[in-house]
Amino acid sequence: MISSKSEQHTHILDLARQTLDIEAQAILAVKQHLGEQFVQAVQAVLAVKGRVVVMGMGKSGHIGRKIAATLASTGTPAFFVHPAEASHGDLGMVTRDDLVIALSNSGESEELSAILPQIKRQGVKLLAITGQKQSTLAQYATWVLDSSVEKEACPMNLAPTASTTAQLALGDALAVAVLDARGFKQDDFARSHPGGSLGRRLLTLLSDIMRTGDQIPEVSLDVTLSELMREMSQKGLGATAVVDENRRVLGIFTDGDLRRLVEKGLDLRSMQAADVMHPNPTTLRDTALAVEAAELMELKRITSVLVVDENNILCGVVNSNDLMRAKVI
C-alpha cells in the first residue's frame, strides 16, 4: 500500500515509464518479425483493383479504423467494416476485387471467424495482422503479419495495450511502404486534406482569394497625385496599380512611396502617377499558389501583391489580410 503522496507520484510515473518501455519493446519485436510476407502484403495492396477493407473487433477494430483512415489519406482507397455488421449484410460491401485486412490479436475473434469462410468463397484476398500465426484467422489468410508481443503493458496482462500498439505500428509501416511505392507526394497528401494547413498552403490559388473588379485600386498614367491618393483611400489597401489603357501593369504606388516623397520636400501638387510610381513592379499570375504571395511579401517586405493574367493584364490584388483570412499564413 502506498503511504505518502510522494510515493504515490513516484508509483504513477514508474508505471507510466514501464508501460512505455513495454510498448516500445513490443514495436521492436514486431520489427524483427518483418520479412517476405510484409513485402508481399505491400505488393498486394498496390495491386488491388478495388478497395482495401479493414476489419477488427473491439480494440483491434479501433486500430483497424485508424489503419483504414491512414491508407485512404495516403492514396489507397480504404474503409472499415465492422465484422458483426458484416454478418448482417455489410459483407455485401466487399467485392472480389477488394483486399481484406483483418486484425485480431488472438486470431479467434468469434465475429470475425464467422465471416472468414464467406470471404474465402468470394475469392477475396485476405491479409491478417495477428499475434497467433496458427490461429483460425491466420489459416484463412493469404498473407500473415506477425503482431505478437511478449506481454501486455496492463499489470494484469489482460487489457490490449502492447498488442494494439504493435498492430498500429504494423499498419503505419504498411501504409508508409505503400505510399512510397506509389510515389505519393506532398501535393497528393494536400488533395486528401484540403481542410488542413498543408492543404490550404498547397491548394489555395491566388484566384481563390484575390480581390477583383471594383475592389482593385488602379489608376492611369496621367492622373494627378491627388486623384491617385483618393483611389488608394477608397480601396483601403495602402497601394494602387498604375495601368495603361489595356489595364496592363506599368507600376505601383504605395503609402511608403508617399512618405518618401514628402520627406524629400517636393511639390506634389503638379505630379502625376507617371512621375511617382514605382515602375515594373513584381506581379504574380492568378494561377500561382497563395503561399507564393506570402513568400514574396516576406522577401520584399511588402503588404500587397498585384495579380495578372496570362497577358499581364491586371485581374486582382491580394494583401496580407487576405492571406490570413484564408489561413495561408
Beta bridge partners of 99: 52, 125
Q: What is the pLDDT along the chain (329 residues), one digit of tens a residue?
A: 556 788 889 989 999 999 999 999 999 999 999 999 999 999 999 999 999 999 999 999 999 999 999 998 888 899 999 999 998 888 889 999 999 999 999 999 999 999 999 999 999 999 999 999 999 999 999 999 999 999 998 888 778 899 999 999 999 999 999 989 888 766 656 555 555 555 566 668 899 999 999 999 999 999 999 999 999 999 989 899 999 999 999 999 998 888 888 888 777 878 899 999 999 999 999 999 888 898 898 888 888 999 999 988 999 999 988 888 888 77
* Bridge pairing between strands 314-319 and 304-308: antiparallel
The three cell numbers locating residue 172: 503505419
Contact (Cβ atoms closer than 8 angstroms) between residue 125 and residue 100: yes
Cell of 181: 511505392
Cα(310)–Cα(312) distance, integer angstroms = 6
> What's CA 66's distance to the chain center, in Å?
15
Domains of the chain: 5-184 (3.40.50.10490), 206-325 (3.10.580.10)
pTM: 0.66
Q: What is the pLDDT of residue 191?
A: 57
Q: Which strands form 99-104's sheet, in the order they lie side by side?
A: 78-80, 52-56, 99-104, 125-130, 143-146
DSSP string, 243-312: E-TT-BEEEEEEHHHHHHHHHHT---TT-BHHHH-EES--EEETTSBHHHHHHHHHHHT-SEEEEE-TTS
Note every long-range contact of 151-154, with CB atoms under 8 Å and residues 24 or more positions apart, other chains counting: 151/22, 152/22, 153/18, 153/19, 153/22, 153/23
Residues 6+ apart with CB under 8 A from 126: 99, 100, 102, 116, 119, 120, 140, 141, 142, 143
Q: Angle CA(172)–CA(83)–CA(55) in degrees, nearest 5? A: 10
